Amino acid sequence: MALQFNADWSERTIPWHSRLQVRFVIGVLIIFTVILGAGATFMLDFEVESVQKRRIEVAKQLGNVLNNTLGAEMVKKQLKGGENTDLIWDNIQQLTDKMREASGALRIELMSQEGEVLVGTDFSLQDHEYNKSEDPECAGCHVHGATEFPSIVIQDEQQKNVLRTITPISMERSCVECHEEQTNFLGMISIDFDYTPIKTENDQRRLRFILMVLSTGGILFLAIYIMIRRQILTPIEVLMEASRHLARGQYDARLEVLKQNEIGRLGQTFNHVASEIQKAHEILELENENNYQSAITDGMTGFRNKAYGEKALREAISNTHECSEPLSLLMVDLDHFKHVNDTYGHLAGDRVLKSVSRRIRHILHYSDTPVRYGGEEFMVILANTDRKGLETVGERLRKNIEEKPFVIDDNGVEIKVTTSVGGSICFKGDRGIEALIERADNALYQAKGSGRNRLVIIEFEE
């Protein structure tokens, strides 16, 4: 296997009936069926022909022996001055009987050129004369215009299938004295073998061959399937599993490339693509974080903006179980800040705002949230802070701004700035942020109305 993927959790694998595997199995089965079918057909035909050829070869050998024996007997007859012809045919009869027993032939016959049975192992056909145009046993060859001496499967007069081989009795020079007609053969030797054992043997061979082909084909198919499953299908499943991890946001998904082949190159390509996606995702996350921070942060002071501050206050109220735990709010406004802008310019005013924000942040706890609520107005959310803590933080903030002048330009010009601070405490009856902010605002207005540069706290209003 060219690829390997290790993950903390495993997704389901491709089912066996998936399209790729089904097409592969069907394709391989079709190929094997065609190849093995064609091979089996050829081999079975070859085996059948082989069995028949062996029988035919035996029949021809028997025919040749009879032919030669008959010729030798005729020569002896001539040398002895006309020996009794009946004795010759008796000897041939005995020879045919022995041949039939030795070879397992069903029947052996010697026939004249006209088809008359001269001698044979079946005495019921003695002197029988076959008619090539009418006799069913002869029609198999003669009706179809056979010009040579055939070997053919026919049905004999008992409707039994037999393999018949015809061997000609050749015309020799020694035959001229008795046979004056000019012909290529004087008669025929017909040897029949029962076709039933031949067919049985063919069927047994066919069965053995089919079993061999099926077992061999099954082994080959299994071997090829295992090889392709291991080398192709399993790596594809591994690649798909890694792709699913990548699609679900696990951008560190990587494949272990085990082999440098086509599948291995595919795995390397996947790793490269996954790496590029991970880099792009990290850049996008960083950009999103920067954009988010920019969206919730005031660019001048670095504090959270008003929208985020109100959202944070809602979450703080929810986290304190509807104000069952301490939570306080400060509203801070710079006194006469419009005078600063009108007298020294907006750049000077910006410097004052930045310095004020730094001083506010310096005295706050990390769990507190400073917010730029308006132009020169700030809101501070004080987590886990009761009235005493609220007074302490509010007074420290006011004094920190009042006691030290602010530098408003590069020449070192300094001005004093004071601030009015209003505070309020969250109560269980506060279902939202509006009541809490309204009380802190009212406290701020009271601080301004009573001379500015002071802290006023309103716990609750009638």
> Of 253, 277, 295, which residue is a domain's last?
295
pLDDT at residue 181, rounded to an integer: 59
Q: Check: CB of residue 162 under 8 Å from CB of residue 193.
A: yes
Q: Are residues 302 and 286 in the same domain?
A: no
Residue 277 belongs to domain with CATH number? 3.30.450.20
C-alpha distances in Å from residue 9, one per residue of 72, 230, 233, 245, 381: 95, 22, 21, 10, 43
Q: How much of the chain is helix, strand and coil, in % rounded to 5?
A: 55, 15, 30
| Model confidence pLDDT, tens digit, residues 291-331 | 888 889 998 999 999 999 999 999 988 887 767 788 999 99
Q: Which domain holds residue 420?
A: 297-458
| 266/8: higher pLDDT | 266
Number of domains in the chain: 2
Note the pTM of the prediction, 2 decimals.
0.50
> Residue 443's closest CA among 366, 387, 372?
387
| Model confidence pLDDT, tens digit, residues 141-165 | 565 445 566 677 777 667 777 788 8
Q: Are residues 219 and 317 in the same domain?
A: no
Q: Tell me how far apart the alpha carbons of residues 119 and 135 are, in angstroms, rounded to a whole number.
A: 19
pLDDT at residue 17, rounded to an integer: 55
| 294/431: higher pLDDT | 294
Q: Give the chain's length.
A: 462
| 422/160: higher pLDDT | 422
pLDDT at residue 157, rounded to an integer: 64
Q: Are residues 260 and 388 in the same domain?
A: no
Give kind and range of the element (H or E) at residue 372: strand 369-372
pLDDT over threshold 80, residue 178:
no
**Average of per-residue pLDDT across 69-89:** 68
Q: Are residues 286 and 233 in the same domain?
A: yes
User: For residue 214, how many other CB atoms are within 10 A of its CB?
Assistant: 12
Residue 428 belongs to domain with CATH number? 3.30.70.270
pLDDT over threshold 50, residue 9:
no
Q: Tell me how far apart the alpha carbons of residues 141 and 133 are, in angstroms, rounded to a whole number.
A: 10
Q: Are residues 279 and 339 in the same domain?
A: no
> Of 273, 295, 317, which residue is a domain's last?
295
pLDDT at residue 414, rounded to an integer: 92
Q: Are residues 164 and 269 in the same domain?
A: yes
Cβ contacts of 417 within 8 Å, gap of 6 or more:
334, 335, 337, 340, 352, 356, 401, 402, 405, 406
**Average of per-residue pLDDT across 434-449:** 93
Cβ contacts of 56 within 8 Å, gap of 6 or more:
151, 163, 165
pLDDT over threshold 60, residue 13:
no
Q: Are residues 15 and 156 in the same domain?
A: yes
Q: Are residues 270 and 313 in the same domain?
A: no
**Range in 160-174, 186-200, 306-320, 438-452 with the lowest mean pLDDT:** 160-174
**Average of per-residue pLDDT across 127-145:** 64
C-alpha distances in Å from residue 90, one per residue of 93, 120, 169, 285: 5, 10, 18, 114
Q: Are residues 286 and 312 in the same domain?
A: no
Q: Are residues 306 and 411 in the same domain?
A: yes
Q: Are residues 281 and 330 in the same domain?
A: no
Q: Are residues 282 and 141 in the same domain?
A: yes
pLDDT over threshold 90, residue 125:
no
> Of 249, 274, 295, which residue is a domain's last?
295
Q: Check: CB of residue 358 under 8 Å from CB of residue 338.
A: no
